[in-house]
Structures are given as structure tokens and as C-alpha cells.
């Protein structure tokens, strides 16, 4: 374990981002995977116990390993994220008081989706 004097801050960031990621599972519009990845990053610096648990997690573990090893995102995750952003964009378009407000949010999501689809996919021969 690191003897970093800011270990407590990393620990706090790990647990707060994990909590936000878990909320994202049930709250539409709140992303899950970026918060879980941030949690894994922070946990590696502040809580080895949490980091090991995240890497061993049935759902999140493979995504974290792919990201840490290759900066990769699976095609399934890309599709789900794009679908969620599309749904949120439609809701914003229908409910925003002004069109420019919806367009601003949709533009941000389009930038994120473009960045996401430019990420590599995990190697097909991975074990696990």
C-alpha cells in the first residue's frame, strides 16, 4: 500500500465515485462506467482492498481490466452508452424550455459518444 499522505483523499474519492456509479445503475442520465473507472483509479491509490474487490467484480471487473490494460471499451458498452445518451437526448429535446438548452446537452453527449467510439475494443483473445 502506498504511504501517500493524500491516501485518505484517494480513499474518499474511490468510495464517493463508486457510490455515484451505483446510483447511475438506477438513475437515468447518470453514467455508471465512468464513475466505476474513476473509483478503480482512486482505489488503486487509496484502498487496495476496494481495488481488489472492483477487479474481482463479476460485472465491473472485466471493464476495469480492459480500461487499465488497453484503454479499451467493449462494443456492447459503447452501444449501451450510445443508446442511453440517445434516450436522454430525446427526453431533453422534448422537455427543455428552450431549444438551445437541449442542443447544448445533446452536443456534449455527441462529443462523448464520438470519443467513446474512437476508443479501442478489448483484444478478442483475452482470458477471464
Do 22 and 62 lie in a common domain? yes
Q: How far is it, in rounded angstroms, from Cα 14 to Cα 18?
A: 6
Do 66 and 98 lie in a common domain? no
Domain count for the chain, please give it: 2
Is position 79 within any domain? yes
- Mean pLDDT (the chain) is 88
Q: How far is it, in rounded angstroms, from Cα 40 to Cα 60?
A: 10
pLDDT beyond 60 at 97: yes
Structural domain span for residue 103: 75-118
pLDDT beyond 50 at 128: no
Does the predicted TM-score (pTM) go above 0.85? no
Q: How far is it, in rounded angstroms, from Cα 125 to Cα 100?
A: 45
pLDDT beyond 60 at 88: yes
The C-alpha angle with vertex 16 and arms to 78 and 23, in degrees rounded to 5, equals 50
Place of cell 467510439: 117
For 41, 66, 67, 84, the CA distances from 21, given in Å and listed in that order, are 13, 18, 16, 15
| Tens-digit pLDDT profile for residues 7-51 | 899 999 999 999 998 998 888 777 888 889 899 999 999 988 999
- For residue 114, the model assigns a pLDDT of 95
pLDDT beyond 70 at 127: no
Amino acid at each position: 500500500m502506498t504511504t501517500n499522505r493524500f491516501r485518505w483523499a484517494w480513499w474518499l474519492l474511490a468510495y464517493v465515485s463508486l457510490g455515484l456509479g451505483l446510483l447511475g445503475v438506477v438513475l437515468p442520465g447518470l453514467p455508471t462506467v465512468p464513475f466505476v473507472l474513476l473509483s478503480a483509479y482512486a482505489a488503486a491509490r487509496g484502498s487496495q482492498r476496494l481495488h481488489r474487490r472492483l477487479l474481482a467484480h463479476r460485472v465491473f471487473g472485466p471493464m476495469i481490466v480492459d480500461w487499465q490494460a488497453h484503454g479499451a471499451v467493449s462494443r456492447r458498452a459503447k452501444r449501451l452508452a450510445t443508446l442511453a445518451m440517445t434516450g436522454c437526448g430525446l427526453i431533453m429535446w422534448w422537455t427543455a424550455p428552450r431549444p438551445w438548452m437541449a442542443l447544448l446537452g445533446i452536443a456534449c453527449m455527441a462529443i462523448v459518444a464520438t470519443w467513446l467510439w474512437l476508443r479501442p475494443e478489448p483484444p478478442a483473445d483475452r482470458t477471464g
